[in-house]
Structure 1
Amino acid sequence: MMRRLLLWLLLALLLTGCGFARPAPSVFMPVPAGLPPGNGGTLIMAWGARDPNTLDPALSGDVGSAFVIRQLFSGLVRLDVNLEVQPDLAETWQISEDGLIYTFTLRADARFADGRAITSADVIYSLERACDPQLGSNLPAATYLSDIVGATEKLRGQAQKIAGLRAIDDRTLEITIDAPKSYFLSKLTHPSSFVVDEQAVVAGGATWTEQPNGSGPFEIEEWRHDQLLVIKRNLNYYRDLPKLDRVRFLIGAAASNPQMLYEQGQIDLTEVPSYALARVQDTSNPLAKELVQVPQLSLYYIGLNVNLPPFDDPKVREAFSLLLDRQKLTEVSLYGAVEQAHGILPPGIPGYNPDLPASSSDMDRVRTLIAESRYGSIENLPPIVAYGGWSGVLQEVAEQQLGLKIEVRGYEDFGDYLAALDRQEFQIYGTGWIADYPDPQNFVDVLFRGGSSQNHTGYDNPEVNVLLDQAAVATDEATRLELYRQAEQIILADVPVIPIYHDVSYTLVKPYVRGLNITPMGILDLSSVELVR
């Protein structure tokens, strides 16, 4: 996501080689020849303990929310099953010779769920709304729309309009960006660029997403908060109509233990928890034939706030990077179901560096580094509070090996966790990131540029920022990828994060579920799914 900040416990579905590596291929369950066509039906999925964090595209900041938003809304462009940019509301676009002006022509049949035509004015309203500081702080648009001329001024409350947006007529609009950037179209696939209905927003007020009148393949049929969300086929959808009648997302108590629900035939697909993977993979188990495995363009890591003691000292950060045996974590704690991360970029992302050295735990070096830090000894370190994934493991190792006590805290509400993360309140925390689009900029720049809204460590290295500026406008692809590699190496040396692993999704899918695409960015679109029983 799509900017998608991901906790260990968030629904994961919704969730090697040279610099020009491509993502691992998506897995597609086709409808075999000779079988009858899908006749509607209801796909059932277990969502989680609570509702999606938001269904407002302008506020989409996590993978789960973005997944549902993609079913209800659409933008000018989209990513296909191969993660390549394709037309969506826009049927065509042209790019000026200098790479600064994008001219989009909307489809003649583009319309909202109520049948009203979508115009250039609707697109501009949606982009400007996404940059409206009255919606909140740390808006996703700061990451995904700031290339547009005037977007930053709008986000800062210094302008009422975005200067780089212009409607030529009802079906044609121009977007002017600040510099030629090869990844700009990819950024427009993020939900923050999706078109919303101004009439629905105004009429619905704070609860407008209850009946949002979107333009995606589905629309909301029923929503019993924290219990059930049902979306149904949008009969006014401008592309091929979804084959499913509806999708039911079980929430709360009804969604507990999805693995059991799947095996009992109560849901149609589910992510396999790591503890159950060996049993499911056993070839004597009938479930093995229903298992789909796809490496994800993701990074799970421990973040260290470089502005909060004791991690304001580089020596302490380096020491903590040597505290955990990351190979043991991936092979034992995660049952070997993931790939150990040696850097920031995952395999399959252009610019991935397979030659980065593996890390190892070294307690003697840990003690030496802390002694060399301005704190002088383990006893002089200030109190440390850890949040998120791997905090318990970190707590146990630190106390057993160093006699260092770390307090572990958590948040019941995912939205509260994200808000605290945005405020950079945590000394140390575990979290993850899954690609919004398959480009190194979405990792190296978005997570580590000084001042980026997704940079929750406070890291700000001028040398890295210069490399990122150069990469953003580089026209030669080999040069661009090399600049990102250089930036990655500096970041790893500065240790604002401790990379742990790159995820692999393991999804059980019932044999009658056809047309489901599981990509290296998870499931993006349910419109092609059908039930063939």
Structure 2
Amino acid sequence: MDEHLRLSRRHLVTAGTVGLSALRSPGGTTLARSTRQDKPGGWKIVDGLRLAGSVSRLSSVDPARSRDLSTNFLLRQVYRGLMALDVNLVPQPEIAESVAISDDRRVHEFVIRESARFHDGRPITSADVRVSFSRALDPRTTGGSLESLAGITYLREIDGADDQLAGRSEYLSGIAVTGERTLSITLGQASPTFLMKLASVPASIVDGEQAQLDNDWTRVPNGSGPFAVASWDPDVSLELAAAETWWAGQPALPRVQVRLGASASQPVNLFQGGSIDLLDDIPPELVDLIEDPAADVPYGELLATELFATSYIALGNTIAPLDDVHVRRALQYVFPNELVATASFNGAVLPANGLLPPGLLNADWATTMIAGNVEAARDQLRRSRYGTAEKVPPVMIYAADIAVVESLREVAAQELGLEIDAIEVGWPDFLTGLAERRFPAYSLYWGADYPDPESLIDMLFGERSVENYTGYANPDLELLLSEARLVTGAERAAVYARANQLLVDDAALIPLYHPVGYTLTRPGLAGVSATPMGILGLETIREQP
């Protein structure tokens, strides 16, 4: 999903460094570091947690409609699913107590925790799970719009999903309710990532009775997560209260107050002014400034985590002139993409030479990619069906933030004579245009929705994916993706390494950088768990002794 404008979230940073530790993944990649500043006084848990949310309105708290990272983060506090990702991003039972998987890996039998309750105290049942998953694939949930359904990516592997999407059934036929607290889910074919997907927000469990009986149920949702909605104004604020009925025990954090809309703008200033207590997604260009002792920004801890995310420019292959691979390669070859990381962000992000970020499956995903090579780019242009730049129609690239597209435009014009139209689109319209596949090329930040290469390559470039926003089609890629679904472990990683290289060779994208998430906390605030997928839950937050 995305930054300011990502189909996913995060923002801010610090002053003097006093204790620095590095955590490494089994593969040796540095994934996180923590800088702590010792300042007297600070945050008290009784005061609750104050956050800056999205500057856009929170239009819905229905998990079946949640398609961006900032909304996902908030809804993950209100709802939970059968599974959750732990601090190492390994799927573990959450609302479920246990899961048993058949030998062919198609049938998953779940037992729901006896202690699992909705916020009003009603036990969560297997019937609620069936309703939740079925409505997440039902076009009626979004007024008939398949593009607005968030559950397709995560639940389409369940038997009966296509009938559900077509409006031919009331419930998913692949879900069998076998008891009040037991159910089985049958997949069309084995999936190595299904349990990860069940930890996603669109796979959250909603109160099935409330959702079926009350059309306005999201005004005061009866959630299944550690925090309940206390009040909500889509343009102003969201207030959450610790749920007494949370299966793991009422969180120590009593309340969470989230600014929305205009009041959430300028989060760095809000933190410096003492108006918010935690800042995730700090702009990386501010890190050096905040870590400078002269800046005197009081903070408790600065967490830096390499994220499973990529900023990139997608080049579709179905519309001229980008249907010519040599034109796409000319654009990829001519652009010195490493300068985006080293110059624009002063090294606070990681240079990218492919779609997959380092650390996924404990691999570094290195590719051989040509970049910043003017002669190689000119050669590709000569080999195109156009022969010369003068004959190439303008390349239209859309973005909500066109800064990097403008840089590509300048380089392509100066070195190749190619014309690029950099078209800036407001964020809501940009999301709509992506969903409707109106953009032949676009620039985007995408954060993985689950910790697997599938959540980037399959989602963004697979032919069946609703997130394949340019309609990119490549039969060789499809063969690799099919193979990846049938294997596991090192063999599966090797298949995705070939798929990652194929996308580079076909110039399906210009990779820009892999972000580092910077999270800043108020002195006295502890228990923040920053993962390569960002902060997942707030129930672990506590006051530092």
On whether the aligned pair clears a TM of 0.5, the verdict is yes
Write the distance in 1 (CA, Å) between the matches of 2:534 and 2:138. 29
**Aligned counterpart for 1:349 among listed residues 343, 348, 360:** 360
Query: What residue in structure 2 maps to residue 500 of structure 1?
Result: 512
Structure 1 counterpart of 2:277, which letter? D
**Aligned counterpart for 2:466 among listed residues 433, 436, 453:** 453
What are the equivalent positions in structure 2 for 1:86-165 lying under 5 Å apart? Answer: 86-134=92-140, 135=142, 136-138=145-147, 139-165=149-175
Query: What residue in structure 1 maps to residue 10 of structure 2?
Result: 13
By how many angstroms is 1:478 displaced? 1.8
Count, aligned residues: 522
Q: Is the Cα–Cα contact under 8 Å of residues 23 and 349 in structure 1 kept in the other structure?
A: no
Cα pair distance change 1:379/1:54, threshold 3 Å: farther
What are the equivalent positions in structure 2 for 1:24-423 lying under 5 Å apart? Answer: 39-52=45-58, 54-134=60-140, 135=142, 136-138=145-147, 139-205=149-215, 207-270=216-279, 271-283=281-293, 285-287=295-297, 290-350=301-361, 352-357=363-368, 359-388=370-399, 389=401, 390-412=404-426, 414-423=427-436
Write the distance in 1 (CA, Å) between the matches of 2:396 and 2:278. 37
By how many angstroms is 1:529 displaced? 1.1
Query: What residue in structure 2 maps to residue 464 of structure 1?
Result: 477
Q: Is the Cα–Cα contact under 8 Å of residues 453 and 496 in structure 2 kept in the other structure?
A: yes
By how many angstroms is 1:495 displaced? 1.5
**More divergent stretch after superposition (44-53 vs 121-130):** 44-53
Write the distance in 1 (CA, Å) between the matches of 2:305 and 2:320. 39
Q: Is the Cα–Cα contact under 8 Å of residues 351 and 482 in structure 1 kept in the other structure?
A: no
Write the distance in 2 (CA, Å) between the matches of 1:442 and 1:54. 24
Cα pair distance change 1:83/1:447, threshold 3 Å: same
Q: Which whole-Å deviations, capped at 9, do the CAs of 1:103-160 have from their partners, x for residues lacking one?
A: 1000112111111111110000111111112322133322211221111232233444
Query: What residue in structure 1 maps to residue 441 of structure 2?
Result: 428
Q: Which whole-Å deviations, capped at 9, do the CAs of 1:171-226 have from their partners, x for residues lacking one?
A: 00000112222221111111121111233324542x43221111111122222232
Write the distance in 1 (CA, Å) between the matches of 2:443 and 2:308. 18
Q: Is the Cα–Cα contact under 8 Å of residues 35 and 303 in structure 2 kept in the other structure?
A: no
Q: TM-score, normalised by structure 2?
A: 0.89
* Unmatched tracts of structure 1, length 5 or more: none
Q: Percent identity?
A: 35
Cα pair distance change 1:37/1:499, threshold 3 Å: closer
Q: Is the Cα–Cα contact under 8 Å of residues 110 and 118 in structure 1 kept in the other structure?
A: yes
Write the distance in 2 (CA, Å) between the matches of 1:25 and 1:9. 21
Write the distance in 2 (CA, Å) between the matches of 1:259 and 1:10. 21
Q: TM-score, normalised by structure 1?
A: 0.91
Cα pair distance change 1:489/1:149, threshold 3 Å: same
Q: Is the Cα–Cα contact under 8 Å of residues 50 and 256 in structure 2 kept in the other structure?
A: yes
By how many angstroms is 1:9 displaced? 6.4
Provide the alpha-carbon RMSD of the alignment: 2.8
Write the distance in 2 (CA, Å) between the matches of 1:402 and 1:28. 44
